[in-house]
C-alpha cells in the first residue's frame, strides 16, 4: 500500500507542471473580458484580456491561439489554475535581459514615466530605472521629446531577486559619439581648411564643432592682433572658417587656427616700419613697465616707460596715456624673430634740453619757480617742463651756501643766469649770484702771491683765526700763526686786531686767499739777513735783526 502511494506521488509530480514556471497553453474561450486557457494536465485557468494588450493597443487574441503564461498555483479554491500572461512576459524579459547584460549588448526600451531622480523605461516586459544623469551626455532640460520613443539602452546593473534594473541612454550616445569622432578625425589632416560652428567660448579660446568632433581654437590663434577675450570676435552659434593646426590622434585633440588663413603682417614689417619712422597707433594695453601700441592688426609694439616722456620720470604709464588713445610713436627697434617692436613716444617731440640750449645760451637770464630745495642747492622750473639747478656755491657772493639757502622757499620765483647746459646728461646749471658782479673780484685782482697785506681778525677758532680783507673772508691755520711754535696760539689774538700777513696763494675762481703770518716772518728774516749781513762778517743773527729793527725805526 505504501509503495502504491509513493508511485502515485511520483507520477503526480511528473505529470503536474512546477509552480513558478512559464508553461504553454491554448485559448479555449473568451468571455467576460477574460481568456480561458488550457495549460494541459487537465488544468484550466483564466487571464484578464488586458494582460495581452501591448503598447496601448487592445488584446489581439482569439480561440485556438497558443500562448505562454506563468503558473502561479496549480489549483485555487475553484479548482482552476492560477496563471498570468503579464508575469510570463516579465520572466521572458528577465531571461532575455540577463543574457544581454552578460554579453554587454544593447536592449530596446521606451521611456514612459517620471520618477524621483530619473525616468521609468519599459524593456518589453520589465521596467527599468533610467537615472537623470544617464539620459544624455549633457543635462536635459526637457525630456518630453524622448518619451514614448523606442530607443536603445545599455544595462548598467540588474538584480532579479529584487526586481531592479538600471539602464543608460548616455552610454549609447557616448559610444556612438566616440565612433563618430574616430570617423571624423580619421578624415582630418593638418593644414586642412573647413567650416565649423562655435559651440562654447572660454577665456582661453573657443570650442568649434567640426561635425561630430570638437576642436579648440586658442585665443592666440584667432587673429594676428591682440585679442583680450574670444567674445570680442566670436559668438556662440557662429559659423567660421578654420584651419587644422595640429591633431593628436591618441587623445583626439584638435587644435585650430583662424589667423593662419590671413596674411602674416610680420612678413613685411621691416619694409612698412623702418627704424626711425613715425606712425600713428592705438594704445591697447597699459602695464607698470610701459604701454602697448597697435600699429595695425597683428603688429603691436611696446613703448617702455623710459621712452614715454622726456620730463616725467618715475611716473606710471597710465598717467601719460590711456587705453584706446591714438598716439604718434617712433620705431626704435624691430626683432623680427621674437616678433617685438620697440617704440618711443618722447622721440616724436623735440628734446626739451636741446630746445632750451638753443633758446637760452650760456649767460642768458631765466626766471622760474623754486620746485625743490635739497642739501646741495635749489631746483628751478624752466620752460619745457624741465628743471635747472642752482648749486649752494652759486647762491651768494657774501654768504656761505648753507646760510644763503635758508632765505629760499618752495614756490619762490627767482632769476638766475645760465652757466651750462648738458643736453646728453639732461642737466642745466644756473647761478643766482652771477646776476651781480663779484664784489671781491677787484680785491682778488689787486693782490698777488708774495704781497704783504694788513687784515682784521674777525673770529677766533681752535684751529686758527678768521680774518677779513676788504670784505673777503679768509682763514689762517694755527700752524701759520707764527714761526715760533710757542706763539702758534689763536687765543693770543682778539677780534679787531690788525695783523700783517703774507699772501701765499690766490684762487680767483674759488674766491680764496691763502694767508700766513709765519710766511711773512720767514720772508722778513731772510730779507734782513740779505740786507745787514754777509757770509764773512762774523755778525750774529741777533745783531743783524737788531740792526734791521733800528733801521726800521
Q: Tell me the per-residue pLDDT of 49-98, one tens digit each, with 9 for 90 and over.
A: 777 776 666 667 777 777 877 777 677 767 677 776 777 777 777 888 98
Question: What pLDDT, on the 0 to 100 scale, is given for residue 216?
Answer: 94
User: What superfamily in CATH does domain 273-347 come from?
Assistant: Nucleic acid-binding proteins (2.40.50.140)
Question: What pLDDT, on the 0 to 100 scale, is given for residue 451?
Answer: 92
Question: What pLDDT, on the 0 to 100 scale, is given for residue 270?
Answer: 87
The model's confidence at residue 538, banded by pLDDT at 50, 70 and 90, is very low
CA-CA distance, 58 to 486, in Å (whole number)? 147
Which of residues 140 and 277 earns the better pLDDT score? 277
Helix (H/G/I), strand (E/B), else coil: 250:
coil
Instruction: Return left, alpha or beta for 435; rule: phi > 0 is left, psi -120 to 50 is alpha, else beta.
Output: alpha
Q: Which three cell numbers stand for residue 77?
A: 479554491
> Domain ranges in the chain?
18-89, 104-174, 188-261, 273-347, 352-435, 441-532
CA-CA distance, 152 to 4, in Å (whole number)? 57
Q: Which fold has domain 18-89?
A: OB fold (Dihydrolipoamide Acetyltransferase, E2P) (2.40.50)
- pTM given for the model: 0.48
Q: What is the arithmetic mean of pLDDT over 11-19? A: 58
Q: Which fold has domain 441-532?
A: OB fold (Dihydrolipoamide Acetyltransferase, E2P) (2.40.50)
- Give the angle subtended at the CA of 432 by the CAs of 430 and 437, to the nearest 5°: 115
CA-CA distance, 416 to 409, in Å (whole number)? 16
CA-CA distance, 442 to 99, in Å (whole number)? 127
User: What superfamily in CATH does domain 352-435 come from?
Assistant: Nucleic acid-binding proteins (2.40.50.140)
Pick the range with the lowest mean pLDDT from 175-189, 259-273, 383-397, 510-524. 175-189
The model's confidence at residue 547, banded by pLDDT at 50, 70 and 90, is low
pLDDT over 60 (residue 515):
yes
CA-CA distance, 162 to 461, in Å (whole number)? 116
CA-CA distance, 506 to 453, in Å (whole number)? 13
Question: What pLDDT, on the 0 to 100 scale, is given for residue 533?
Answer: 61
The model's confidence at residue 224, banded by pLDDT at 50, 70 and 90, is confident
The model's confidence at residue 252, banded by pLDDT at 50, 70 and 90, is confident
Helix (H) or strand (E) holding 538: none
Question: What pLDDT, on the 0 to 100 scale, is given for residue 276?
Answer: 93
Bridge pairing between strands 253-257 and 239-248: antiparallel
CA-CA distance, 196 to 57, in Å (whole number)? 46
Instruction: Return left, alpha or beta for 392; rule: phi > 0 is left, psi -120 to 50 is alpha, else beta.
Output: alpha
- Give the angle subtended at the CA of 390 by the CAs of 387 and 395, to the nearest 5°: 150
Q: Which fold has domain 188-261?
A: OB fold (Dihydrolipoamide Acetyltransferase, E2P) (2.40.50)
Pick the range with the lowest mean pLDDT from 51-60, 249-258, 331-340, 540-549. 540-549
Question: What pLDDT, on the 0 to 100 scale, is given for residue 6?
Answer: 62
Residues 457 and 499 sit within 8 Å (Cβ to Cβ): yes
Q: If we measure between CA atoms, which residue out of 296, 392, 297, 293 comes closest to residue 344?
A: 293
Q: Which three cell numbers stand for residue 410?
A: 618752495
Question: What pLDDT, on the 0 to 100 scale, is given for residue 551?
Answer: 46
Question: What pLDDT, on the 0 to 100 scale, is given for residue 206?
Answer: 94
Q: If we measure between CA atoms, which residue out of 313, 289, 315, 320 comes closest to residue 302?
A: 289
% residues pLDDT > 70 (the chain): 90
Which of residues 377 and 541 earns the better pLDDT score? 377
Per the prediction, the chain carries an average pLDDT of 85
Bridge pairing between strands 299-304 and 326-335: unpaired
Question: What pLDDT, on the 0 to 100 scale, is given for residue 474?
Answer: 92
Residues 149 and 166 sit within 8 Å (Cβ to Cβ): no
The residues facing 44 across adjacent strands are 38
Residues 6 or more apart from 195 whose CB is under 8 A from it?
A: 239, 240, 241, 242
pLDDT over 60 (residue 2):
no
In angstroms, the first-to-last Cα distance of the chain is: 191
Pick the range with the lowest mean pLDDT from 288-292, 425-429, 529-533. 529-533
Q: Which three cell numbers stand for residue 228?
A: 583680450
Question: What pLDDT, on the 0 to 100 scale, is given for residue 194?
Answer: 92
Residues in the chain: 553
Most confidently modeled of 19-23, 38-42, 359-363? 359-363
CATH code for 104-174? 2.40.50.140
Instruction: For 335-370, write each residue's pLDDT tens digit.
Output: 988 889 999 999 998 989 999 999 999 999 999 999
Q: If we measure between CA atoms, which residue out of 114, 39, 104, 30 comes closest to residue 71?
A: 39
Helix (H) or strand (E) holding 292: strand 290-296
Residue carrying C-alpha cell 695783523: 499
Amino acid at each position: 500500500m505504501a509503495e502504491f502511494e509513493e508511485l502515485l506521488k511520483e507520477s503526480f509530480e511528473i505529470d503536474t507542471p512546477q509552480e513558478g514556471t512559464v508553461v504553454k497553453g491554448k485559448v479555449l474561450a473568451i468571455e467576460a473580458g477574460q481568456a480561458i486557457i488550457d495549460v494541459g494536465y487537465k488544468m484550466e485557468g483564466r487571464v484578464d484580456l488586458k494582460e495581452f494588450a501591448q503598447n496601448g493597443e487592445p488584446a489581439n487574441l482569439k480561440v485556438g491561439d497558443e500562448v505562454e503564461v506563468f503558473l502561479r498555483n496549480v489549483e485555487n479554491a475553484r479548482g482552476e489554475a492560477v496563471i498570468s500572461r503579464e508575469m510570463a512576459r516579465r520572466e521572458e524579459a528577465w531571461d532575455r535581459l540577463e543574457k544581454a547584460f552578460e554579453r554587454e549588448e544593447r536592449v530596446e526600451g521606451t521611456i514612459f514615466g517620471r520618477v524621483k531622480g530619473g525616468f521609468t523605461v519599459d524593456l518589453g516586459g520589465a521596467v527599468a530605472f533610467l537615472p537623470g544623469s544617464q539620459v544624455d551626455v549633457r543635462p536635459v532640460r526637457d525630456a518630453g521629446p524622448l518619451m514614448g520613443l523606442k530607443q536603445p539602452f545599455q544595462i548598467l546593473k540588474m538584480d532579479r531577486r529584487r526586481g531592479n534594473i538600471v539602464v543608460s541612454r548616455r552610454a549609447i550616445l557616448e559610444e556612438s559619439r566616440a565612433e563618430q569622432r574616430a570617423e571624423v578625425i580619421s578624415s582630418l589632416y593638418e593644414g586642412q581648411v573647413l567650416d565649423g560652428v562655435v559651440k562654447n567660448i572660454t577665456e582661453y579660446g573657443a570650442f568649434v564643432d567640426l561635425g561630430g568632433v570638437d576642436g579648440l581654437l586658442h585665443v592666440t590663434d584667432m587673429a594676428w592682433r591682440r585679442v583680450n577675450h574670444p567674445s570680442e570676435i566670436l559668438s556662440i552659434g557662429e559659423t567660421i572658417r578654420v584651419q587644422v593646426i595640429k591633431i593628436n590622434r591618441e587623445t583626439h585633440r584638435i587644435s585650430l587656427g583662424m589667423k593662419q588663413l590671413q596674411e602674416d603682417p610680420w612678413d613685411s614689417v621691416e619694409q612698412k616700419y623702418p627704424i626711425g619712422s613715425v606712425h600713428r597707433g592705438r594704445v591697447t594695453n597699459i602695464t607698470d613697465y610701459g604701454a602697448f601700441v597697435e600699429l595695425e592688426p597683428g603688429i603691436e609694439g611696446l613703448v617702455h616707460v623710459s621712452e614715454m616722456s622726456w620730463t616725467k620720470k618715475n611716473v606710471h604709464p597710465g598717467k601719460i596715456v590711456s587705453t584706446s588713445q591714438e598716439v604718434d610713436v617712433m620705431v626704435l627697434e624691430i626683432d623680427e624673430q621674437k616678433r617685438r617692436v620697440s617704440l618711443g613716444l618722447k622721440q616724436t617731440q623735440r628734446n626739451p634740453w636741446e630746445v632750451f640750449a638753443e633758446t637760452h645760451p650760456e649767460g642768458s637770464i631765466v626766471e622760474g619757480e623754486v620746485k625743490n630745495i635739497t642739501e646741495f642747492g635749489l631746483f628751478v622750473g624752466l620752460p619745457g617742463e624741465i628743471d635747472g639747478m642752482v648749486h649752494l656755491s652759486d647762491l651768494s657772493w657774501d654768504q656761505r651756501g648753507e646760510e644763503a639757502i635758508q632765505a629760499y622757499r618752495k614756490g619762490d620765483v627767482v632769476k638766475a643766469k645760465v652757466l651750462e647746459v648738458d643736453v646728453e646728461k639732461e642737466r642745466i646749471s644756473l647761478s643766482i649770484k652771477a646776476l651781480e658782479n663779484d664784489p671781491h673780484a677787484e680785491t682778488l685782482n689787486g693782490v698777488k702771491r708774495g704781497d704783504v697785506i694788513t687784515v682784521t681778525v674777525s673770529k677766533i677758532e681752535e684751529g686758527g683765526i678768521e680774518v677779513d680783507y676788504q670784505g673777503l673772508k679768509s682763514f689762517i691755520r694755527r700752524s701759520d700763526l707764527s714761526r715760533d711754535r710757542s706763539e702758534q696760539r689763536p687765543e693770543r689774538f682778539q677780534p679787531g686786531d690788525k695783523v700783517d700777513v703774507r699772501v701765499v696763494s690766490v684762487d680767483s675762481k674759488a674766491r680764496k686767499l691763502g694767508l700766513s703770518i709765519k710766511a711773512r716772518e720767514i720772508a722778513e728774516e731772510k730779507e734782513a739777513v740779505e740786507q745787514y749781513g754777509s757770509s764773512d762778517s762774523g755778525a750774529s743773527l741777533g745783531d743783524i735783526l737788531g740792526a734791521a729793527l733800528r733801521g726800521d725805526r
